[in-house]
Chain A
Amino acid sequence: MSSIDIAPEALPRRKGRKISARIWSEAFSSIEFRIGLAVFTVLVAAALLYPWLSEIDPTKMNIRAKLSPPVFMGEGWSWAHPLGTDQLGRDMLARSLVGLRYSLLIGIATTVLMLAVGAMIGLFSGYFGGRIDTVLMRLTDAQLSIPMIILAITILGVSRPTIPSIILVLGLAGWPVYARVMRSTVMSERKKEFVRGAMVLGANDWRIMFTLILPLVLPPIAFVAVLDIARMMIFESVLGFLGLGVQPPTPTFGNIIADGRKYLMNAWWIATMPGVFLVLTLTSINLMGAALERSRNKIYGGA
């Protein structure tokens, strides 16, 4: 034992519960996480329920009520359209909430996809090392060196964007970072004594990889992936903004804002209001993600 404990009172190395449970409870006890969760829950509930309860069709046009401003913000507002209407008289609140649905759907699905692909590639690369590692990591570098957005707009711009193709493209463009992180944690985990112990017991590689290492290294990475849900939602809206996302008439944050840009001078709310929604949602997700990341770092001692 070459290291000594110089802390005056060494904490007992007790860990009562499973690590993921401790990360959850640690995160949950932080104020950021609670704020984030509260805002997020309200927004999701609204996104799921409001369009249905209010029976407002987000694609229904009403030329007479067009360009009505949000409440208290200028002349001619009404409670019927709390966030105002667009140039075709469509209700902005309903449109934003429907946009939020698509945004969340794509954000989550994409993150799951890239986490899965990245984790597998990183696991193999880190565990086996050697030639497999070299090949996989060169591939990762190549992928990493093309800006994700260029790759995405290239594919979507040349083909036709649909929801599955958006998820697929963003997911396949985003895995390299996960592969790298996964690879380095697997490599350090692989050197640990309990892995050596399992090898001496006679366990084969698959058993060690999937029953011993994966359950250990995946949760900490998955917790941080929450942050990427927000990142992917931004990407989705960027694509929509460029006209390469989910196609109109389906409202998404991106295409609403792109539309609104044309009316920026006389109806500023069309471009900005959906953005406020998006920012609120993203901030709530990011707060939760950051709280999870911190509690993970705390519990893993900064690893």
Chain B
Amino acid sequence: MFIVRFLARRLLQGAVIVFLVSALIFTLLRVVPGDPVRLMAGGMAPEALIEQIAEDMGLRDPIYQQFGRYVAGVVQGDLGQSFVRPANGAAVGGASFDDSTRGERAEVWDLIAQTAPMTLQLALLAMAFALVIAVPIGVWGGLRPGRLPDRIALYLSSLFVSLPNFWLGIVLALLLSVHLELVPAIGYEGFAYTILPAFVLAIEIAPFIIRTLTVSVAGVMGQSFIDIAAVRGLTRNQIVFRHAIKNSSVPLLNLLGVQFSMLLGGVLVIEFIFDYPGLGLLTINAVMQRDFPLIQGIAIVTAAAFVLINIVVDLCATAIDPRLDY
């Protein structure tokens, strides 16, 4: 029952990680300067009102008490309520300081659940694009180390990795969307709006895949079992497709696991540029509005996603290479 023990152990470790993340974010948000209540109530609000709201919300209690309350909620599946967003959509706060009652505020969980599928769609399409671009280049480069394909892989990955995502997004939107009118870019009114953001994101991810694949394919091709396979009578195609690619996919999987957070970072910026209504845009707005519960909720959800993805990655890796043992 290797799999059960494995899952139990990893989920437990994952819970520890998520706990640490929430503690870290929670503390950070409370020690850095800047009072969210001031933002919620609006700049004109009298000091006494602010104090009262803060008191009501428990924001003046010691950090550990606030954290305890928060964790107790999280364990029951309650990520709390947004400071600023009402349940119906538009952000509150700003100039008016008539305190909207707390019942009207949006649940953090709902906000995340609404936007996460959009981001997932973007991320999956981006990943597909990235693999289509990077795998042929990377494998080809790895099969001919030091030769032209390898150089091409090197130059392309160096170029791709040097393109800042927000700049590339602007340039491509200008070219493809404004001038050539090939794909829509800003906002979201259908699947077509995912294509350009996903492509920009793919260009950001591709160089890492190219680099990992060239190195690992070249490494595998140098191993003795590949070398001797031809003498054993296997054909070149069998060697490359059945053995070399299979063996070099493990480092690629690990890369995807570790770089998951990089992917999310990219998503954030790209959603911001293209005004794509996903988790990333939600995050940026939450930060701009000092919406502490929302920031915390997003951090917890992404940390949990990170943990789960890494468990899946490790399971896939063990399925491919049975020597691995996590």
Contact = CB atoms under 8 A, between A and B. Distances in A.
Contact of A158 (B21, B154, B269, B287): B287
The residue among B13, B158, B224, B287 with the most chain A CB atoms within 10 A of its own CB is B158
Contact of A155 (B28, B157, B158, B215): B28
Contacts of B57: none
Interface in B144-181: 154-155, 157-159, 161-167, 170-171, 174, 178
A146 B25 contact: yes
A159 B32 contact: yes
A138 B16 CA distance: 8
B162 A279 contact: yes
B264 interface: yes
A297 B13 CA distance: 33
A138 B33 contact: no
Contacts of A264: 170, 174, 178
Interface stretch (B65-73, B115-123, B297-305, B315-323): B297-305
Contact of A148 (B158, B174, B222, B265): B265
B164 A146 contact: no
A73 B32 CA distance: 47
B299 A268 contact: no
A232 to B, nearest CB: 12
A144 B287 contact: no
Nearest to A282: B162
A200 interface: no
Contacts, number: 153
A283 B284 contact: no
A177 B259 CA distance: 10
A: interface residue count bin: 35 or more
Interface in B1-27: 13, 16-18, 20-21, 24-25
A110 interface: no
Given A237-B164, A238-B269, A146 B261 contact: yes
Contacts of B295: 154
A32 B161 contact: no
Interface stretch (A52-60, A210-218, A270-278): A270-278
B229 to A, nearest CB: 14
Interface in B121-155: 154-155
Contacts of A145: 17-18, 21, 261, 302-303, 306-307
Interface string A232-261: 001001100110000000000110010001
A142 B299 CA distance: 11
Contacts of B284: 153, 242
Contacts of A261: 170
B158 A286 contact: yes
B37 interface: no
B167 A278 contact: yes
A205 to B, nearest CB: 28
Given A150-B299, A154-B295, A238-B269, A144 B306 contact: yes
Interface of A: 6, 32, 138-139, 141-151, 153-155, 157-160, 177, 180, 227, 230-231, 234, 237-238, 241-242, 253-254, 257, 261, 264-265, 268, 271-272, 275, 278-279, 282-283, 285-287, 290, 294, 297, 302
16 contacts: A142-B17, A142-B24, A145-B306, A146-B302, A149-B265, A150-B302, A154-B29, A157-B290, A158-B32, A237-B167, A275-B171, A282-B161, A282-B163, A286-B161, A294-B154, A297-B215
Q: Give the 10 A-B CB pairs with smallest separation, nearest first.
A: A282-B162, A149-B265, A275-B167, A142-B20, A145-B306, A157-B287, A147-B261, A283-B162, A147-B264, A286-B158
Interface of B: 13, 16-18, 20-21, 24-25, 28-29, 32-34, 154-155, 157-159, 161-167, 170-171, 174, 178, 211, 215, 218-219, 222, 224, 258, 261-262, 264-265, 268-269, 272, 283-284, 287-288, 290, 295, 298-299, 302-303, 306-307
Given A147-B262, A148-B265, A272-B174, 4 more contacts: A149-B264, A238-B166, A264-B178, A287-B155
